[in-house]
A and B are shown apart, each in its own frame.
Chain A
């Protein structure tokens, strides 16, 4: 543990006084104000300035933050320095973390969050857990009470490092201001490399006031940390052999392919070898869904065709996927005939849920680069014919009986954009319809909370994506349920203030629809506490009160006009309240824990269970 704590100018009384006042008025709180003149004279700057300079040196473009007593010194220095990055004042720290996630997912860069101690930090917990589950690189800077008060139940103290330990890739408590710049560098390095993930940097208030010289290291070495690059050539060769020998191979592609920028290569390989492709929820966009080799998404709400293909395949090539239980269902019955090749960067993911025949540990993109030249063209005609039968047996579809259905809205959005849009879905039925009916064509066009399944993710994540893609041609569409959209609705005001032309779609079924679906199917229609009718607001008025445009649509004939009107608006978010029918369910479906072969298609009665 580090021993030397450099505190050039913070007397104990000064920092105690600062913390005592921390929660009061923002002005006049700083006990140690760094004076530009002494700064240059001594070559020493405050920890707060070191943090800001480090973020600049790291190339951070945008910080999603919310101030408070413990970090007021950083905000004060930001005011003075006017740093090269932009600070976006979110309206809830959870919104801030999801915005950073959306930014990271859309751009491939690391997202940054800055919040105060105690409640500021705890409000970030959901977003950090979400980023951990979905391998999203974000760095969260949290304020902390001064070092000498840690453990004293001081005002706005919480054990941030302890609380976030099991939901971070790594975390740092800064105890030495001379190591602050290096710590920032390490945090970004760890967040971004290997299997990406969230990193927390906890900043005691005295560390922000203490002074040290600023030097941002070019590189850092962390002796316990390493990650893999290329795969073992012998294993890659074995994989190529297995692929050559297979008769009914299937590529099972996950989000790791997109993270490692391997989608293009994957697409080339699939087309060359004529191997059909199924993707996970996070894999959507890694292979164009309008290609005849695409069988769509697999798993609980995947297509009949994809799940049948899994059950009949003699070889599964898992690429940056992790055999999640929403994909496999009952694991003992999953892919019963398939040998498995698994390409993944995380050793712990390999053979975690399903032991595999050919593990290849490595960066997906690099391994595909090794594999590509070893693969010959293949004749899979017979297999593709079988697949075509499954595709026709049970295509994704919906009734067109004059009632407003969510699937038709998602289809209309796809038609409006030709698939060129960034779609950020929330959690629930809307998430599945968003996944099933949009048809994703390229990487980073589909963003969702997959691992944690966080309601309230879509709106702030879409906002973060829109910040990251400002000036780009493709619209950012946020698809929500009427339940989840209220969980971070406050960020609508932020998006409006920054004139982001977000397209916010609410598939308003007046229910916690996905829970209602389970209650209908598995709990004898006992709709316990899922009816939102008594409490749902007037979403149009709500949107307008935040400075957005609100539009209402309650019949299929009006879908097109509503979307057209929304696309006319370019200087603020538009909220479209689609009053869809309550009864619509997501099909097909593999009930939780059931075997993938036992899918419910269309309606839940035994005649239709195939």
Chain B
């Protein structure tokens, strides 16, 4: 459907959903970081994980750990989707009985870290160069 044939209402809905208005434009899919505070039970963890497969949401990474209050767990999820889908992810997470707090921190100041273990074969002559590369990436040692 080209732009000309869309009614103003149809245009509005597409924009509101973050869908492509025209084929050239492409969908505006974004990566979102969502943090959750959930009940510290296996059931709660299962339910959150299950939601992603049940609803067909993308799940790029998950990490879970105990919160300060041991009756709760802290979960951090990275997911992708257009605005409509991310809206759904947040609402569906919120609707679980075991979730206490759901927060999209993508646009909130936050620290992101990735861990990468690499095994490199090199001899003594290359070692200095390798260390130089490594230090330029490592923020902390």
Query: A residues engaging B (CB < 8 A)?
Result: 1, 161-162, 165-166, 169-171, 173, 190, 222-225, 332, 335-339, 346-348, 350-352, 354-355, 357
Chain A binding site: helix, strand, loop or mixed by DSSP?
A: loop
Task: Say whether B13 faces chain A, with CB atoms less than 8 Å apart.
Answer: yes
Q: Is the Cβ of A165 less than 8 Å from the Cβ of B50?
A: yes
Q: How far is the CB of A403 from chain B (nearest CB, A)?
A: 44
Q: A355 to B98, alpha carbons, bound, how many Å?
A: 27
Contact of B41 among A1, A166, A225, A332 (CB under 8 A): A1
What residues of chain A lie closer than 8 Å to B46, measured between beta carbons? 162, 165
Q: Assuming A224-B38, A347-B95, A351-B16, what are 8 further A-B pairs, CB within 8 angstroms?
A: A1-B42, A222-B97, A224-B98, A224-B99, A336-B7, A337-B9, A339-B9, A355-B13
Interface centre among B13, B53, B84 (most CB of A within 10 A): B13
What residues of chain A lie closer than 8 Å to B96, measured between beta carbons? 224
Q: Is the Cβ of B94 less than 8 Å from the Cβ of A347?
A: yes
What residues of chain B lie closer than 8 Å to A173, measured between beta carbons? 43
Q: A222 to B41, alpha carbons, bound, how many Å?
A: 14
Interchain residue pairs A-B with the least CB separation, the first 5? A355-B16, A348-B91, A166-B54, A170-B97, A336-B7
Q: How far is the CB of A4 from chain B (nearest CB, A)?
A: 14
Interface range for B: 20 to 34
Q: Is the Cβ of A224 less than 8 Å from the Cβ of B97?
A: yes
Q: Is the Cβ of B84 less than 8 Å from the Cβ of A355?
A: yes
Q: Is the Cβ of B97 less than 8 Å from the Cβ of A336?
A: no
Q: Is the Cβ of B92 less than 8 Å from the Cβ of A224?
A: no
What residues of chain B lie closer than 8 Å to A355, measured between beta carbons? 12-13, 16-17, 84
Q: A161 to B54, alpha carbons, bound, how many Å?
A: 15
Q: A350 to B13, alpha carbons, bound, how many Å?
A: 13
What residues of chain A lie closer than 8 Å to B16, measured between beta carbons? 351, 355
What residues of chain A lie closer than 8 Å to B47, measured between beta carbons? 165
Q: What sequence of 0s and 1s flags, for each residue 35-51 of chain B, a beta carbon within 8 Å of any chain A beta carbon?
A: 00011111100110011
**Given known contacts A1-B41, A224-B96, is B9 in contact with A336 (CB within 8 Å)?**
yes
Q: How far is the CB of A291 from chain B (nearest CB, A)?
A: 28
Q: How far is the CB of B19 from chain A (nearest CB, A)?
A: 9
**13 examples of A-B residue contacts, CB within 8 angstroms:** A162-B46, A165-B50, A166-B51, A223-B100, A224-B38, A224-B98, A336-B10, A338-B9, A346-B95, A347-B95, A348-B91, A355-B17, A357-B12
Q: What sequence of 0s and 1s flags, for each residue 79-91 of chain B, a beta carbon within 8 Å of any chain A beta carbon?
A: 0000010011001
Q: What sequence of 0s and 1s flags, for each residue 59-78 of chain B, a beta carbon within 8 Å of any chain A beta carbon?
A: 00000000000000000000
Q: Is the Cβ of A225 less than 8 Å from the Cβ of B97?
A: yes
Q: How far is the CB of A186 from chain B (nearest CB, A)?
A: 9
Q: How far is the CB of B86 from chain A (nearest CB, A)?
A: 12
Contact of B40 among A1, A166, A337 (CB under 8 A): A1
What residues of chain A lie closer than 8 Å to B51, measured between beta carbons? 166
Contact of B43 among A171, A222, A351, A357 (CB under 8 A): A171
Q: Is the Cβ of B97 less than 8 Å from the Cβ of A166?
A: no
Task: Say whether B117 faces chain A, with CB atoms less than 8 Å apart.
Answer: no
Chain A residue nearest in CB terms to B98: A224
Q: Is the Cβ of A351 less than 8 Å from the Cβ of B84?
A: yes
Q: Is the Cβ of A354 less than 8 Å from the Cβ of B43?
A: no
Q: How far is the CB of B4 from chain A (nearest CB, A)?
A: 13
Q: A225 to B94, alpha carbons, bound, how many Å?
A: 9
Chain B residue nearest in CB terms to A348: B91
Q: A335 to B13, alpha carbons, bound, how many Å?
A: 11
Task: Say whether B128 faces chain A, with CB atoms less than 8 Å apart.
Answer: no
Q: Is the Cβ of A351 less than 8 Å from the Cβ of B87?
A: yes
Contact of B7 among A224, A337, A350 (CB under 8 A): A337
What residues of chain B lie closer than 8 Å to A190, measured between beta carbons? 97
Chain A residue nearest in CB terms to B1: A332
What residues of chain A lie closer than 8 Å to B42, measured between beta carbons? 1
What residues of chain B lie closer than 8 Å to A222, measured between beta carbons? 97
What residues of chain B lie closer than 8 Å to A225, measured between beta carbons? 97
Q: A451 to B54, alpha carbons, bound, how many Å?
A: 16
Q: A224 to B48, alpha carbons, bound, how many Å?
A: 13
Q: Is the Cβ of B39 less than 8 Å from the Cβ of A224?
A: yes
Q: A239 to B53, alpha carbons, bound, how many Å?
A: 36
Q: How far is the CB of A182 from chain B (nearest CB, A)?
A: 14
Q: A508 to B91, alpha carbons, bound, how many Å?
A: 44
Q: A351 to B84, alpha carbons, bound, how many Å?
A: 7
What residues of chain A lie closer than 8 Å to B94, measured between beta carbons? 347-348
Contact of A166 among B13, B50, B88 (CB under 8 A): B50
What residues of chain A lie closer than 8 Å to B39, measured between beta carbons? 224
